[in-house]
Structure 1
């Protein structure tokens, strides 16, 4: 959902959701304090920042110069939860939102125009928020895929039911060129795009639990070189460590948003 059409080589290449669809294409964080959010993720993930075309409340996070995520400091202003949300590429945001609602999901925001595209913030049947994006994608798509989160994982009550919902809304496993493939591997539903694992769906989250770590939600996994160092930096900058093993840690930022850091070796 980054709108800079110049690649790292300086050439112009526009890739749209009509050629890459159904796959995660962006992640965005709603926060309350833009400067505090920038400071935290700079310390923990080494990100740098640039302005976004949407206005002063928005920033684009850069990893090694590649746009990897968006920050929207609108949680208080728009009465939205502080959280990381994945966005999926779709040929039509309006059609995807309609399919989601027809299948028991809800539309929280949109679809609305964000030139050069359209976006909607939705929730699935179990209340897990997700977004859809129609329009131009990150210009250097392969660079984004390498620098982007390692993958996203949906924690939900019934992985197979969720896979059917998302498959119908996002047109997974269709006969369209570029669509995502869905497999069952190691007790999880696994989504692959161009051969790469881009999302996983696992059963077990409780439907009405008050704790966001166990109620249905999409968890964003960022690939890092040193999990322990990220966990230490999170604690030193007002965040917390919810769980940690050698190659992965679940962290909470200073504003309360939850995310996971995963070792490059575990990708």
Structure 2
């Protein structure tokens, strides 16, 4: 959700390399495309709906009404919907028991929309109080690890719950220093999106030139270099670059690229 659709398109087009085309949901929506694959959507509705400017993951479900009922039964919140959209599809905007916001979608799904696949977002991260409790909630609501064809696998690795699809990690649930009910987005339970770019520094430079700002320094786990940013509207996201060969650093390496900013 953004405040200004054209400004958001300029920003993410320069930073992540997306192009855009109209979405079937109306003039306030656009589809982000990379390598001819739809990878994200932007809706300029934050002001109209009085919702926070933020990236929100949507999980595909077989029946959005059933999923919404499961969320309510497990002390989650159904904030908007389920509602129907032109061209087919129904969705709801919901929250888990700790307040992390996400969406559920019933309807056509392009194969390119899957996180971790090709140019799509690299992976999703849930920052929550207790990753194991969160995995139970999402597993029951979204039917993770049920053994169905195409279903996700769940494992516990390095103090994280890791969600895989087709063997590839698509989400990580991480216990950490978050506060239920906290005002600042940086500290409250939330879903966080990681976008992969070919080179980190040019992408960060483009973000700063267009009014974004850094929220962390560059860090490396030996496999990826990452930095957290805010777009001009304040939405948090992380840019990540794969590290290979001689560029691979030691686990926990911290660089100095970018300004360590506050959470605003």
Please classify the TM superposition score into its range, dividing by the shorter chain length.
0.7 to 0.9
Q: Distance in 2 between matches of 1:154 and 1:214?
A: 12
The 5 Å alignment of 1:39-188 reads 39-114=10-85, 115-139=87-111, 145-188=117-160
CA-CA distance at 1:144 after TM superposition: 8.1
Query: Is 2:39–2:112's contact at 8 Å kept on the other side of the alignment?
Result: no
Q: 2:216 aligns with which of 238, 243, 250?
A: 243
Supply the RMSD in Å over aligned alpha carbons.
1.6
CA-CA distance at 1:181 after TM superposition: 0.7
Mapped pair 1:216 → 2:194: no
SS of the equivalent of 2:66 reads helix
Deviations 1:167-207 (A, max 9, x none): 00000111322211110011100000111100000011221
Match of 1:262 in 2: 240
Gaps of 5+ in 1: 1-29
Assess, with a 3 A threshold, how the Cα gap between structure 1 residues 142 and 259 changes in structure 2: closer, same or farther.
Answer: closer
Assess, with a 3 A threshold, how the Cα gap between structure 1 residues 224 and 112 changes in structure 2: closer, same or farther.
Answer: same
CA-CA distance at 1:117 after TM superposition: 1.4
Deviations 1:9-38 (A, max 9, x none): xxxxxxxxxxxxxxxxxxxxx011011111
Q: Distance in 1 between matches of 2:115 and 2:129?
A: 34
CA-CA distance at 1:78 after TM superposition: 1.3
Asked which structure has the greater RCO (Cα within 8 Å, sep 6+), the reply is 1
Query: Is 1:187–1:202's contact at 8 Å kept on the other side of the alignment?
Result: yes
SS of the equivalent of 2:46 reads coil
Q: 2:207 aligns with which of 234, 248, 256?
A: 234
Query: Is 1:66–1:144's contact at 8 Å kept on the other side of the alignment?
Result: no
Gaps of 5+ in 2: 220-224, 245-264
Deviations 1:91-150 (A, max 9, x none): 111111110111010011111112321111100000000011111111556798211111
Aligned length: 237
Q: 1:225 aligns with which of 190, 198, 217?
A: 198
